[in-house]
Amino acid sequence: MKKNIYLSVLLTLFILVLNAQEKKDNLMLDLTKIALANQSDSYVTFPIDIGNLDPLIFEANISPSFIIRKRKDSRLMGVLTSQVIIRMYNQDSYPIYTPSYIPQITFYYLVGDKKSKNHNTFFGRVSHHSNGQNGDFYDENGNINLLSGNFATNFLEFGLINTSNSENLNAVKFFKSSIEIHPKSWMMDEMQGLYSGLRWHNTFSAFKLPKTNLELKNRPNISLKVETTWMFDSINNWSTFDLNRLNAGLTFYYHPKVLEDIGLFVQFYHGMDYYNIYFNHQIDTIRFGLMTEILRF
């Protein structure tokens, strides 16, 4: 009888160890998860933003990611994204002016031990940004033609992503730093000296995971993202340390249990408008909305 009890206890302990090991393994981050966590989020905002943006019904970022890889454990992987940003204005007939089209392809390369919870990943990106218009850049008054003016540029981005895992907080953290370059021959002549062609991006993001972790179906309960961009080149006759060169954003995301693939977010943004030909506007805004969360740890 005692022997059977000892065997039962040992078997129970063995199962618990396996379960604990499975939980630990489930927190492992492969290149796919690292890439998706650092791609642009898809979202739609509510018409209750606070700040100096023109009144909107919504702003939507549609950013699907298509993964290109040889096999799941590859160190090298591509992500093709057909990103589109749309703003519907709270005006007669609710117009949508000059959407931003930002198709891009990004290559990620994972260095070091694949089984480690801490990673460094190099990435490079080729992207296009335009508004689908062909009118003159300036209107008859010499102002930037926001309604039909042509906006187009192409750029390269190179950077590094550092990934770390906090077991005490049960959280995954990313720090991404990159340089974005718009060669002059890839940018419209009218935009040069007005639109920054040399930018330094830094992003810190943290994803807080649930206490339980079953079959890799975890999604973050909450996440936080801090983003900064500094524009280095000569634009608008700004001095070297002019704070107008700084773009900054803070996004807090919450995923309630009652929702499946979307959550709620609040975001603060300060800096140059990122909506194509509206780039000459300086905006400060707090906004709220829904964001997709396809990422699983």
Residue 6 has a pLDDT of 43
- Phi and psi at 218, nearest 5°, equal -65, 145
pLDDT of residue 218: 62
* Separation CA 265–CA 289 (nearest Å): 6
CA separation for the pair 105, 36 (Å, rounded): 13
The Cα angle at residue 262 between residues 258 and 265, in degrees rounded to 5: 105
Task: Give the residue, 16 or 241, on which the prediction is more confident.
Answer: 241
Average pLDDT over residues 63-68: 92
> Which pLDDT does position 117 carry in this prediction?
75
Return the pLDDT at 25. Answer: 42
Please tell me the predicted confidence (pLDDT) of residue 41.
87
What value does the mean pLDDT take over residues 158-179?
Answer: 91
Of 134, 41, 34, which Cα lies nearest the Cα of 83? 41
80 touches 40 (CB < 8 A): no
pLDDT of res. 15: 43
Global confidence as pTM: 0.86
Residue 153 pLDDT > 50 = yes
For 191, 196, 229, 240, the CA distances from 184, given in Å and listed in that order, are 9, 10, 20, 20
Higher pLDDT, 3 or 149: 149
Residues in the chain: 297
* Total Cβ atoms within 10 A of residue 44: 15
The rounded percent of the chain whose pLDDT value lies above 70 is 86
Position 16 scores a pLDDT of: 44
Residue 77: φ, ψ to 5°: -150, 145
- Give the residue from 82, 85, 179, 162 showing the smallest Cα distance to 124: 179
Give the lowest-confidence range in 195-204, 211-220, 261-270: 211-220
Structural fold of domain 30-292: Outer membrane phospholipase (ompla); Chain C (2.40.230)
